[in-house]
Structure 1
Amino acid sequence: MRQASPIYLVAGLVSCFLIWAYHFEIDESVRATGSIAPAGRIQIVQVADGGVLEALYINEGDRVVKGQVIAKLEDTRASARKSELDAQLAALQVRRMRAQAEASGTPLSFVDLPAQWSGLIEAQRALFLASQDRQQKAVDALASSVSLAKREYDMMSKLTRGGDATNIQLLQAQRDFVDRTQALEDAKLQYRTQALGEIAEIDGQLFSLKFSIDERENIVAKTTITAPKSGIVTSLKYATLGASVSAGEAFVSIAPIDETLELELEIDPTDVGSLRLGMPIKLSLGAFDPAIFGTVTGQLKLISADVVPANDATRKAAYFKGVADVDWASNSRIDASLLRPGMTATVDIKTGSRTVLLYLFKPLLRGSSTVFTER
């Protein structure tokens, strides 16, 4: 009986362990890496037209406010082109005023125009006077011709009544008078029509030019780079004055500071099948030792529909992108004001639980699926 007691003791211990292992559960989780990101996403500021960096007013890590000037590009080329277009606009506007006066037959008047347009004004005034003089001489000549034809017609009419001229001669004199009168009216109309045609041409050029000026003004304005939103400068591609910045190139990244911070995850493709939205997570931040500061809880809210391909340049493996909402207040030992976008984290996503007994027998269960099979 004394010899059997150790056997009973071992059997009892084993039985107790099996009962405990059958009832006690441990969490199953998937591990992923992640980093803090603002819910509103990092704002990438691009350069519209390119240029040479003339002034830089920020550094990485600086806080900026919306509308703050952060850099300036040289605007010499853009401003020169803008001045050229402004000069073309002024010339067309003065030219249109001259053509309008010719079309309406009113005196030419340049009022409320800038003093620097004086050269353009004098040139158009001289052109107007020359055109008026040329037009008046042509009209006077035609008017004299009409007057002469009228006298000939009147004379021929008297002669016809006295029997000294035929009706045919009278008709010829009448036709000559009518033709010369029409030529006079046509000449007057031609000058007005030419002026109206010039106005239509100028209006078309003005319409096109104003679009070009608006575009150039926009380019000149964008040589002054401003912050589109308040935040922290997380990356600055150019920090040397005189650097050449290409059009459309990312210049600076700004992470918003007044928005909720969430966690962006990189999930191994082999683990994504066991994940569901709403699963709880625990994360430990690389900047805060978990042995001292503990962990923070949250919830998985998004898994990307497709895998992000591997990147050979950075030696980064393929992964599924995930996003988690984090309850930063769940750990009072971590000061939320110290959190910054880009901080890395190790994340455990709880996928379920299993008993200790099932965990111990997992290798046997896995092996049973391939037993008695041969390749």
Structure 2
Amino acid sequence: MLLHKARLEAEAEGRDMQIPPEITQKAPELVDDERALFKAHLEQLENNRKILQAQRKQRRQELDEARARRTHLQRSLDLLSRELKMTEPLVEAGAISEVDVLRLRRQVSDLQGELDAVKLSIPRLESLLDEAEKKLEEVELSFRAKAREQLADVLSELSQLQESAVALQDRVKRTEVRSPVRGTIKQVLVTTVGGVVQPGMDLVEIVPLDDTLLVEAKISPRDIGFIGPGQEAVVKITAYDFAIYGGLKGRVEQISADAIQDQDGKNFYLVRVRTEKNHLGTDEHPLPIIPGMQAKVDILTGKKTVLQYLLKPVLRAKQKALRER
């Protein structure tokens, strides 16, 4: 369709075809076919023009001949009329016979009739010449007009195709689900073929690979009083030996508002810890952490010196001394 457009534009504007290089590379055979059709149309136009040019030349030649003959007949008639005028007095003098005068009169009459016929033919020949010139002009105008008419149809079809293409692209785009982040699929929530997905509905759970980790930990109700948002924590991945690979530093980000009961009937608080990195090891040789790995979370609730730790039993005994129930 784009090749048709390029050809018709060239025919309508009277110039050579201008085809984008990318189309020539993608469809060279179609380009050659369209150029051949363009050349054939121009050759047909040129042949029609040559035929009309020959007709115009013939009409002009006929008109020129008629005008030249008119001039010749007019001169001959003038001379013969002068001769007749000079001869008529000689009849009365008996110098020539009356038959000679009659012959001259007949010749004058014949020339006059022939001259009148030629004069009448000149307007008709001029009209034929004008008609030939108009046909020569119209053949190219008609060629350009036909190309513009076809170009309008092609542009209309292209517009419809572009609208259809946009609609199809939108439909194809809607069939693709793209994650906003790079990650690993944890769970596919919709698996029904041909099912309808409601707006805002979750399709897939993805664990980001280029982001920090959010680790969920269960905290006993007796320890929850010592934990608050922002506290430092260390996440130990059970798949990697902590003594060798260490753990991930992080901070408490969120604590559940109330206790939650698990399947065994035990109560716990859900604490979420945000790590500083998403892998163990170094950046050059990372040890990946994938969904499903288990972790142990140590939350730092305070700091004590060695002396405070050693004196803790003594201080506790002092607080309980000399008391009775």
Q: TM-score range by the shorter chain?
A: 0.3 to 0.5
Structure with higher strand content: 1
TM-score (norm 2): 0.36
Question: Larger Cα Rg: Structure 1 or Structure 2?
Answer: 2
TM-score (norm 1): 0.32
Where relative contact order (Cα < 8 A, 6+ residues apart) is larger, the structure is: 1
